[in-house]
Amino acid sequence: MSSQKAPGVSDPVTRHTRPPFPDQEQEARCEALIDRAKSELGRIDTLVNNAAYRMSQPDGIEAITTEQFDRVMKTNLYGMFWLSRAALAHIPRGGSIINTASVQGYQPSPHLLDFAMTKSAIISFTHGLAQMVAERGIRVNAVAPGPVRTPLIPATMPDVTEFGKQSPLGRAAQPTEMAPAHVFLASPQASYITGEIVNATGGTPLRWAAAIRCACPASSGPIHPRSEERAGGPDPGMAITPSRRRHP
């Protein structure tokens, strides 16, 4: 799905051509798309939120217009929210939602300020929604790609000659290399995986420090990781969760 209207798409299963996907910057169109999918397919087992918009602005925050900022937010966040909300009414127990985060959600590039902030929000949305719908047997996960050579890259970057070379593998990924992660998260083999971010970055480490949160309702927030050493080991009622807090 794209924030812009695309040419008709041939369905690989039914072999018929579908009309262009709607602009997901509008709530009504997102809801209509879910209704149409349910009507044509009969059921919705998995929703993949993959649409995004970004525009490199090396001249800083002053160069990010309100129009650009609004488009990035509505495409990357509003559309994901509206589609997820509408789809959940149709996704059965055992189904899943798969969002698309990014290495930018962990390590933002200054020239992609607005895009990066949406990817951080997608990570939080994934963690939160996963907990919200777990009791309904619906899983929510995300894939966080590193540099991927999609048509979006040359369309929004002035120079792509060095794109992806900073990754340990020394190159950008192809979109087909992201597909297996999505297929796995949608499959029965991932039936006990929810609230997770699969990092497909070509080896780039994502530096989120680990913090310990108490699983009980009375938790007041992160506890220093070294507290388990002082207490003689980890408490079975505790779990490791991502946190931006850094500890020595």
Can you spell out the DSSP letters for the chain? --SS----EE-TTT--EEPPPPPTTSHHHHHHHHHHHHHHHS---EEEE--------TT-GGG--HHHHHHHHIIIIIHHHHHHHHHTTTPPTT-EEEEE--GGGTS--GGGHHHHHHHHHHHHHHHHHHHHHGGGT-EEEEEEE-SB--THHHHH-S--TTTTTTSTTSSPBPGGGTHHHHHHHHSGGGTT--S-EEEESTT-----EEEEEESSTT--S-B-TTHHHHTTS--TTEEEEEES----
pLDDT at 207: 64
pLDDT band at 70 (very low <50, low <70, confident <90, very high): very high
Whether residues 226 and 167 fall in one domain? no
Whether residues 143 and 68 fall in one domain? yes
Q: Is the pTM of this model over 0.75?
A: no
Q: Which of 77, 10, 69 is nearest to 49 (CA)?
A: 77
| Better pLDDT: 110 or 210 | 110
Structural domain range at position 124: 9-207
Whether residues 39 and 67 fall in one domain? yes
Tell me, what amino acid is at 171? R
2 within a domain of the structure (yes/no) = no
Share of the chain above pLDDT 70, in %: 67
Whether residues 169 and 244 fall in one domain? no
Tens digit of each residue's pLDDT (9 = 90 or more) over 168-180:
676 776 778 888 8
CATH number of the domain that 125 lies in?
Answer: 3.40.50.720
Mean confidence (pLDDT) of the chain: 77
What is the number of structural domains in the chain? Answer: 2
Whether residues 110 and 230 fall in one domain? no
220 within a domain of the structure (yes/no) = yes
Whether residues 212 and 170 fall in one domain? no
70 within a domain of the structure (yes/no) = yes
Whether residues 147 and 36 fall in one domain? yes
| Better pLDDT: 241 or 63 | 63
